[in-house]
Amino acid sequence: MKEKLYQGLIELTNGKQSSNILQNIAKAKWSKRIIPSYMKVYDINLEEVSKKPQQFSSLHDFFTRELLEDARPIAQSPSTFASPVDAKIESFGRIEWDMTFQVKRKPYALQDLLGNDERATKYIDGYYVVFYLSPADYHRIHSPIDGKVLRQYTLGNKSYPVNKLGLTYGKKPISHNYRQVTELKLADGKQVAFIKVGATFVNSIVLTNRSEHWKKGQEVGYFSFGSTVVMLFEKDSIEFTENVVKGSAIRMGEAFANML
């Protein structure tokens, strides 16, 4: 019961007033007293964390924790995509001709997700993958591949649940959520859309890298509380690796697709 209540606080609460209250709680100095119970509820592996629990200034500071440098080996092949986050693979597959794809059996319009019809057409008949981050996960975001940043922009002004219940029963929770879109141009000339979706009540996606060129494994930002990443690929540009299975866990740096 305690775990469900805790998870409800982290993921499902919504509304501007509750958002502000919960953000203030998470960032308050006294919230560091919550860290031990948070670690216990979510079974956090402290051996890979860069600081000791008592060194964090708040619950938010712990939630956005950094890991030891060698905690997440990066898939080395230049033609391999590395997972940008620690997550579960919520869904993956081909982007249909009518510019929609399925997340938990619900259709999502590609043009809504990207906010632009012309950009959306580039990914028709390509592939998508959805990475879902739980409150237990490491919430720093890393570049999945070497590439040139063509554009970055923000869409949406409110966040809805991006946990499993929200993805199943929410009204367009991904396409209408607050999100930041990065489009990368790869060495082979193909483009990739890298969409970072804000959590229920926080609307916080912090960019830590604004350089024109991203290097695979390089940190590019972090989420405040549970969130989702969606990646879109052009037609005939990738094939998923064997470890890409719906519902399976993946760690940042692990291979999930190869360029064709």
User: Which positions are catalytic?
Assistant: 86, 142, 227
DSSP-assigned letter for residue 206: E
DSSP labels, 102-170: EETTEEEEHHHHHT-HHHHHTTTTSEEEEEE--TTS--EEE-SS-EEEEEEEEE-S-----SHHHHHHS
Q: Residue 255 is encoded by which pair of tokens?
A: 């291979």
Q: Residue 75 is encoded by which pair of tokens?
A: 């898939």
> Residue 260 contacts by C-beta under 8 Å, 6 or more apart in sequence?
236, 237, 238, 239
What burial class does residue 100 get, using C-beta atoms within 10 Å of its C-beta: 0-12 exposed, 13-18 middle, 19+ buried? Answer: middle
